[in-house]
Amino acid sequence: MTTDSTNEQVESFVENGHKILTSLATAYNHPENYSVLSSSLELKQRLTNPKNLPQEGCDSSEIIEEAIKTIFSGYCNVSHPQYYGYISPKPLSISVLGDFLAEGLNQTPGAWRAGPAATVIETETLLWLSEFIGYKQNMGKIPNGIFTSGGSMANASALKLARDTILGREVQDKGLVDTRFKPTVYVSQEGHFSIWKALDFLGLGRNCLRRIQVGEDARIDLNKLEEQIQKDRQKGYKPICLVGTGGTSATGAVDPLDSLAQLASYYQMWFHVDAAAGGVFANIPETRQHFQGMNLADSVTLDPCKWLFVPFGIGCLLTKNGSELLKSFQASSHYWEDLSEPDLFQMGMSGTRQWRSLGLWMAFKHLGYNGYSKLLKNLLSVTFHLAEVVKQHSGLELLQEPTLPVCCFRIGNSGRLLPLDKLNHLVQSLVVEKGEHYFTILDWQDRTFFRVSLNNFQTEKHHLDSLIEAISEQLNHLENHQSN
């Protein structure tokens, strides 16, 4: 390769990188330029009729332009302050740059010799995350946790840790085929689907899961839980894990974690808290009371790619004892020279993996505890504002007082020509169709509610007022149409 061709490649890389950054900056700083959710007919057709594999290459600048054009033809605009869908946040720009730097240099925290700085920064970020949520740990030679691809893998890792610890380490070699145990795991009906997927994945089977009823507040019913545990023990089952939910996906409810911790201890179960969604609020003054008992958990799942505003692809499992995590996942091969280095691949399912913690590390450095707390408090403030507006509106009905930045409500006036559930569905679809607001539907105890999740740290009260106005206008339009 000549010097000239090398220089040309560098110039092309910088030029194309500038195009990408410019496109990102526009989407980030001027989100109103795009609909909240868009999907072209051509894009939908490509789903079932994809383009053929190119036989010849083309210029990189053309590829960049086509990629940008394609993406924005089917774009979920999470940067828009009126995106209220699933917990898909607008990422902090500093975290995006961190991910870009980490992936551009292709460093991995999986092994010391593949990324010494990556390993150190990842370990440091794990500690900061624990401190941020108030989950106290004793630092040892290895971190008391691991970053994963997301909350689902973190939950699966926690359940494996529970299985190995409670049933005994021999299960790692012998498996469950000839075991005398009939393990059971407990979670509320509002627990995340990743729990039963993980039980299937681990060979424990979905039938070992006991999904416990919740009360009107969407929190686990403690009496029903203990009744089920005692019933299982009488039948010869072995309760191994109790999962508390630190923020449900549906309504943001938080289980009574302190009571669950006591039950888990009494019945000698592993206590895991799935706080993928809400755990980052555990040490904020406004919400701290809801998370009492989380510090007693044997393990905690977090999803920084939710309300810590970093890009998708990073979950986290924290535990009190990193050495037990190491025992559950340690493995090697004849080609791997053991140099007694801090190789973090020994603490999780992944081997070589992306270094996704640099963006979070940079965000912590940029904001600190106080800066992050301010963003989270603002989200809570605008959520509580929405709840108050709903309660004061004669035609709307609030499901429950919000705990986290999720507010669920519905059109509650029964004097309509359409059944209420159909009316709520219709109004939601018509408002979303206009492209200025996006919110979802929640089926709660056979009733249809609007689910509004506040994901964007730049969403303000007037954006929520606009949503209520859009719902009211659409409702009035339907009423006028029906009366004519």
The predicted structure's pLDDT at residue 352: 86
So what's the pLDDT on residue 2? 47
Q: What tens digit of pLDDT does each residue of 265-289 get?
A: 999 999 999 999 999 999 999 999 9
Query: Are 46 and 55 within 8 A, CB to CB?
Result: no
Q: What pLDDT shows up at residue 180?
A: 80
- Tell me if 192 sits within 8 A of 276, measured CB to CB: yes
pLDDT at 1: 45
pTM (predicted TM-score): 0.94
Residue with tokens 């943001």: 252
Q: For every one of its 484 residues, what pLDDT tens digit does the chain have, with 9 covering 90 and above? A: 445 567 778 888 999 999 999 999 999 999 999 999 988 878 888 888 898 999 999 999 999 999 999 999 999 999 999 999 988 899 999 999 999 999 999 999 988 998 999 999 999 999 999 999 999 887 778 899 999 999 999 999 999 999 999 999 999 988 887 778 899 999 999 999 999 999 999 999 999 999 999 999 999 999 999 999 999 999 999 999 999 999 999 999 999 999 999 999 999 999 999 999 999 999 999 999 999 999 999 999 999 999 999 999 999 999 998 999 999 888 888 777 777 778 888 888 888 888 999 999 999 999 999 999 999 999 999 999 999 999 999 999 999 999 999 999 999 975 666 899 999 999 999 999 998 999 999 999 999 999 999 999 999 999 999 999 999 999 888 877 666 5
pLDDT in the model for residue 23:
94
Beta carbons within 8 Å of 406's beta carbon, 6+ residues apart? 250, 251, 252, 383, 451, 452, 453, 454
Distance CA 344, CA 352 (A): 10
Rounded CA-CA distance 322/16 in Å is 43
- Residue 272 bridge partners (DSSP): 243, 299
Give which of 381, 431, 459, 440 is closest to 86, Cα–Cα.
Answer: 440
Ordered structural domains, the chain, with CATH: 3-33+39-74 (no CATH), 108-354 (3.40.640.10), 373-483 (3.90.1150.10)
Q: Partners of 37 in the beta sheet?
A: 76
